[in-house]
């Protein structure tokens, strides 16, 4: 998962390490040159001191009195600040040291479908953490760069994050969750997966087919309901979606069902009729949570749709399907930042168990560390 992006981030880390190694070599050369010059100066002084006693010494010019600042300047003539850092096993990472690696990382992020404003924020976070800091150029260099990458990525990925399980546990029952998104991205399958996920945690659920306009929608969701032995509430094709979900809520209340999972028609934000349906569901049912579903492999398209859906009908979080097939990771990195709402789940396969809680820390670990 996200292997391509992981490789590109690893390339940035290697670029910075190479830069610091080059600086270390330069500092070592400078230190050696300064040491050689001082040794030569000392040898010249020794030769002068070994002259005959008959030789009258030249009158010495009075030494200027140095204050502490002047002494510091004089010392710098002996060893440059870079050489001193080398002696201490340290090196200062400067803006120009990161210029090329950061440019390469920016291109890598954009090529991986990371939204431009998100890429900019990631780069700025890395720059603030590294530039001007004195770092060990031993094995610690890799750790320092990894930490900067980790912190910057996490800051954009974890925006708005909340504990889904905790919210379900604390909510009055029945909890009503509505799923939105365009056709073909896996909304209905995600509903089935969430039903299984909730069942494994002790919560009962009922499915409601609010996608009343698409031919075959009832049959599709009914197949999932039958496979999972769940109750399905549906109306005839062309019925009122809000009425379907309202009936599901009444069924849940009468039968002590914990969660209502409501499908809706696949829609674009530009479709006023479909967006009006969401508004009516909001008025009639008042869902506790609205989740946007899209494919991780859709990349920038998914990011743009998430932004537009959130603008048109505010979402509470997102689910990304086909995450197991996504080598780029741009949508996973960008959606929370551009909407201010978290990614909650990743779909990772075709089975009902192939869904996992989205963990920003784990994702960042996958991208910058050795975690699979």
- Looking at the fold, whether 117 and 242 belong to one and the same domain comes out as no
- Looking at the fold, whether 150 and 168 belong to one and the same domain comes out as no
Structural domain for 191, as ranges: 164-360
pLDDT value at residue 72: 46
Long-range contacts of 166-173 (CB under 8 A, 24+ apart): 167/289, 168/198, 168/201, 168/203, 168/258, 168/259, 171/288, 173/252, 173/256, 173/257, 173/258, 173/259
Diameter over CA atoms, the chain: 122
- Looking at the fold, whether 144 and 245 belong to one and the same domain comes out as no
Asked if residue 290 has pLDDT above 50, the reply is yes
Report strand pairing: 134-136 vs 289-295. Answer: unpaired
pTM assigned to the model:
0.75
- Looking at the fold, whether 126 and 218 belong to one and the same domain comes out as no
Please give the Cα distance from 132 to 85 (Å, whole number). 13
pLDDT band at 270 (very low <50, low <70, confident <90, very high): low
> For position 243, which CATH number holds?
3.40.50.300
- Tell me how many domains the chain contains: 2
H helices of 50-136, in order, are 68-78, 81-87, 95-111, 116-130
Using the structure block, give the residue that is written with the tokens 């080598």.
Answer: 327
pLDDT single digits (tens) 209-264: 988 777 778 888 999 999 999 999 988 777 788 899 999 999 999 999 999 999 98
* CB distance 303 to 338 below 8 Å: yes
- Looking at the fold, whether 193 and 332 belong to one and the same domain comes out as yes
pLDDT single digits (tens) 47-81: 555 554 444 555 555 555 555 455 444 444 434 44
H or E element that contains 35: helix 3-49
Q: Which of 129, 157, 185 finishes a domain? A: 157
- Looking at the fold, whether 11 and 34 belong to one and the same domain comes out as yes
In eight-state DSSP terms, residue 362 is: H
H or E element that contains 9: helix 3-49
Q: Which of 105, 132, 157 finishes a domain? A: 157
- Looking at the fold, whether 251 and 345 belong to one and the same domain comes out as yes
């Amino acid at each position: 998962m996200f292997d391509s992006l992981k490789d590109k981030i690893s390339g940035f880390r290697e670029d910075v390490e190479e830069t610091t190694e080059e600086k270390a070599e330069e500092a070592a050369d400078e230190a050696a040159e300064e040491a050689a010059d001082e040794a030569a100066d000392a040898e010249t002084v020794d030769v002068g001191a070994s002259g005959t006693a008959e030789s009258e010494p030249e009158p010495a010019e009075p030494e200027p009195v140095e204050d502490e600042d002047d002494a510091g300047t004089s010392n710098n003539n002996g060893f440059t600040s870079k050489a001193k850092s080398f002696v201490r096993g340290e090196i200062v990472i400067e803006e120009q040291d990161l210029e090329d690696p950061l440019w390469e990382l920016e291109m890598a992020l954009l090529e991986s479908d990371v939204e431009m404003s998100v890429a900019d924020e990631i780069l700025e976070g890395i720059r603030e953490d590294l530039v001007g800091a004195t770092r060990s150029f031993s094995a610690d260099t890799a750790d320092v760069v990894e930490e900067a990458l980790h912190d910057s990525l996490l800051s954009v990925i974890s925006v708005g994050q909340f504990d889904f399980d905790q919210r379900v546990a604390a909510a009055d029952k029945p909890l009503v969750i509505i799923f939105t998104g365009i056709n073909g991205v896996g909304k209905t399958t995600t509903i089935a997966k969430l039903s299984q996920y909730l069942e494994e945690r002790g919560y009962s659920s009922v499915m409601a087919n609010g996608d009343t306009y698409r031919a075959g929608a009832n049959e599709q969701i009914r197949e999932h309901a039958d496979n999972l032995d769940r109750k399905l509430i549906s109306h005839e094709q062309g019925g009122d979606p809000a009425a379907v979900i309202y009936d599901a809520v009444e069924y849940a209340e009468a039968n002590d069902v914990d969660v209502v999972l409501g499908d809706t028609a696949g829609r674009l934000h530009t479709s006023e009729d479909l967006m009006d349906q969401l508004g009516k569901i909001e008025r009639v049912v008042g869902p506790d949570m609205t989740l946007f579903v899209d494919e991780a492999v859709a990349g920038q398209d998914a990011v743009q749709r998430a932004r537009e859906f959130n603008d048109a009908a505010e979402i509470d979080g997102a689910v990304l399907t086909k995450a197991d097939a996504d080598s780029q990771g741009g949508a996973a990195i960008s959606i929370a930042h551009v909407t201010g709402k978290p990614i909650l789940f990743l779909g990772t396969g075709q089975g009902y168990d192939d869904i996992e809680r989205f963990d920003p820390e784990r994702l960042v670990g996958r991208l910058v560390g050795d975690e699979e």
